[in-house]
Structure 1
Amino acid sequence: MKKNTSKKNPNQAIGIDIVEIKRLARVSKKWGRGFLDKVYTPRELSYANSKRFPYQHLAARFAAKEAIFKALGEVEDNFVGWKNVEILNDAYGKPLVVWHGTAEKVRKKRKLKDVVVSLSHTENYAVASAMLIF
């Protein structure tokens, strides 16, 4: 991925991603708990597993992480692992991003002030967008 070099809005970056829910379910079933534990935090897994259709919620969180990674673009010398970007919900159900480890270091280095994430899903697809504000 390339670094955001937009001259019109250098203080913002946007990412979007879409995930086919059945595909995520197949991968999860094929690779088992190892895959889930590599991508999701215990709180993300607990939240999704409390829902009637957990894969819809897991797919939405996967899409949100991808959207954030796309908006971040190239990350100098730091690998931002999947679990270092945690997608939770606030008291009102609004998506909330919690930064950990290398993601927190990148957030501080880039002077990221805020991130706005939107999640949605249907029976078949989950989509997420992320706007980073520097």
Structure 2
Amino acid sequence: MIYGIGVDIAAVERFQRFLDTGKTALIERLFTPAERSRCEIRKDAASCLAARFAAKEAFLKALGTGLRDGLSWHDMEVTNDELGKPELQLSGKAAVMFEANNLARVLLSLSHDGGNAVAMVVLESK
């Protein structure tokens, strides 16, 4: 059964500005070391970061909580399976909230087009 659906869109240009102006503190606050490493080696680093940010926002919308009650951006990490499919790994407060809401699965889809990155998250109940 579906618990919640979240969608978010992020402008790639915004993340390109963060990279160009050296706003590393902000990037470090929003993304885990693994996410930063994965994106930094790509020629489309800003697009990679924008998609991951959109995924985190979409998750928060699907959960219905927003970023509060001790939830951190680092509690949500976008990874990829062996075939490259994006997955959302939860830790800390995000994992606690996931369990407290009796959730079973996170489905994540990412896309990029026209200077934007979009993410959709579907949360399934147990």
The percentage of counterpart residues that share the same residue type is 35
Q: Matches of 2:61 and 2:21 in 1, distance apart?
A: 26
Contact kept in structure 2, 1:15 and 1:71, CA below 8 Å: yes
Contact kept in structure 1, 2:18 and 2:27, CA below 8 Å: no
Structure 1 gap segments, 5+ residues each: 1-8
Contact kept in structure 2, 1:17 and 1:128, CA below 8 Å: yes
Residues 61 and 33 (structure 1 numbering): CA distance in 2 closer, same or farther, change over 3 Å? same
The Cα of 1:23 is off from its aligned counterpart by 1.4
Q: Matches of 2:45 and 2:16 in 1, distance apart?
A: 9
Q: How does 1:1-134 map to 2 (within 5 A)?
A: 11-30=2-21, 32-74=23-65, 78-122=69-113, 124-134=115-125
Normalising to structure 1: TM-score of the pair? 0.85
Q: Which has the larger radius of gyration?
A: 1
Q: Matches of 1:12 and 1:111 in 2, distance apart?
A: 9
Contact kept in structure 1, 2:106 and 2:121, CA below 8 Å: yes
Normalising to structure 2: TM-score of the pair? 0.90
Q: Matches of 1:28 and 1:84 in 2, distance apart?
A: 22
Q: Matches of 1:72 and 1:114 in 2, distance apart?
A: 12
Amino acid at match of 1:98: Q
Q: Matches of 2:31 and 2:42 in 1, distance apart?
A: 16
Matched pairs, number: 124
Contact kept in structure 1, 2:105 and 2:123, CA below 8 Å: yes
